[in-house]
Amino acid sequence: MKFIRKLLKFGIISWIFIIGIWQLAAYFSSPDFLPSPLIVISSLGDLITNEGLFRDILISFGRIFAGWFFGCLIGIPIGLLIGNFKVAKSFFEPILHFFRFIPAIGFVTLFIIWFGIGEEGKIILIMYATSFIVILNTASGVSNVEKEKIRAARCLGASESQILFNVIIPASVPHMYTGVRLAMGNSFAAIVGAEMLASNEGVGYLIWTARLYFKTEWIFVGLISLGLMGFITDRILGALASLVLGKYGIKANGQVKSSS
């Protein structure tokens, strides 16, 4: 039983179950409709050897990281402004709550017109997709800071800048981290749309090309690549956050420790 619990903990049994169901469904389907795991693995070898899959993964990841980083760089200060100042909240909230309901993929054509098919448009598209969730989580974190802590700091003679950097920001870090982590997922969704319509390289382009050649197994390779990229990135982000932000309640698995 202990061995089975370990397998469950690491998700091995879950993946065996999924692959088994996939294999069973593929047995009763056409390879063009649902290729089996073995066909996908064989196709993976061909893509690595002949189509430069690793290069596509690195290119996509570079775009994702750049857009995500700049989206967080913009989102955190705006979130702090909205949470701290009523004037900023009144100014930004109507804009924020309008544009956050427009998906990034809706701007793909406009971004091609405005920025061309180069890297700038793709990175800005990812910035757009990531910044809103960072802004909202940061602002929520600031709003949830206990007022007693702020009043106590003022009574002790702390200036507004000292309160910001020593009380508000530290108390808001778990919310900021949650926004940053969720934003990474949004960046993966945005890059697929951008590369499908305005690129000749990357994982999104691979998935789009597979449609043209009716290579269903390529689509599975692209989807699995994105899933692994996201999973590994999330784990690395969680591990780094636990090292740097552990004192704010970020656990080693990337989860946020409850303050209660």
Sequence spans of domains, the chain: 37-248
SS3 of the chain: the string is CHHHHHHHHCCHHHHHHHHHHHHHHHHCCCCCCCCCHHHHHHHHHHHHHHHCHHHHHHHHHHHHHHHHHHHHHHHHHHHHHHHHCHHHHHHHHHHHHHHCCCCHHHHHHHHHHHHCCCHHHHHHHHHHHHHHHHHHHHHHHHHCCCHHHHHHHHHCCCCHHHHHHHHHHHHHHHHHHHHHHHHHHHHHHHHHHHHHHCCCCCHHHHHHHHHHHCCHHHHHHHHHHHHHHHHHHHHHHHHHHHHHHHHHCECCCCCECCCC
82 vs 117, more confident: 82
Confirm if 136 and 82 have CB atoms less than 8 A apart: no
Q: What is the pLDDT of residues 143-166, one digit of tens each?
A: 888 888 888 888 888 787 888 888
Confirm if 66 and 130 have CB atoms less than 8 A apart: no
Most confident residue range from 6-20, 74-88, 246-260: 74-88
Q: Quick one: fold of 37-248?
A: MetI-like fold (1.10.3720)
Q: What is the pLDDT of residues 242-254, one digit of tens each?
A: 888 777 777 755 5
What is the rounded distance in angstroms from the CA atom of residue 138 to the CA atom of residue 171? 10
Model pTM score: 0.84
pLDDT above 50: residue 260: no
- The residues, any chain, with a CB within 8 Å of residue 127's CB and separated by 6 or more, are 67, 70, 71, 74
What is the rounded distance in angstroms from the CA atom of residue 96 to the CA atom of residue 88? 11
Which structure tokens are listed for 179?
A: 């926004």
